[in-house]
Amino acid sequence: MALWDKLGMDDKLVKVLKEIPPGPEAEDFGPAFVTIHQLAVELDQRFPEVRRQLDVPFGGGASRHSGLVELLGKELVDKIKRYGDVYPIEAAQLSSVRFRELRLRGPGGRDLVGASRTDLPLIRLRAKDKPGD
């Protein structure tokens, strides 16, 4: 059994995503989308033991090839492609067209993402799995 499964990551991510409210004027649009970085911050705040057990830093950085952000991105993309509509989490992309900069505030107020020249993956619960269903 993979460590991802041993840690119950799918259930943890669904729990985190259920706790992210839609915007005040966006309830009709279904669950809110978040970036992988936002999801990693929320997961790390609710389940700090996950990062310790995975033995990864928050972000990759120069000394390590991957961190929690990169691991979440890779695993979620793989699972969404493999399981399709059966998987409770879906993805979309925010286009980089005319996109100059996005800054996300992470733990301690530090920036997680600066300028981006690539599309950003966005993650959310599938609409059928939103709270109250």
Summarised one tens digit per residue, pLDDT across range 59-89 is 755 445 578 888 898 999 999 999 999 999 9
Is residue 86 in a domain? yes
Give the mean model confidence (pLDDT) for residues 26-52: 88
pLDDT of residue 113: 62
Neighbours of 129 (CB within 10 A): 17
Is residue 45 in a domain? yes
Is residue 108 in a domain? yes
pLDDT of residue 96: 79
Q: Are 122 and 94 in contact (CB under 8 A)?
A: yes
Is residue 26 in a domain? no
Q: Is the pLDDT of residue 27 over 50?
A: yes
Q: Domains in the chain: how many in total?
A: 1
Give the mean model confidence (pLDDT) for residues 1-19: 91
Domain that holds residue 56: 3-20+31-129
- Average pLDDT in the chain: 82
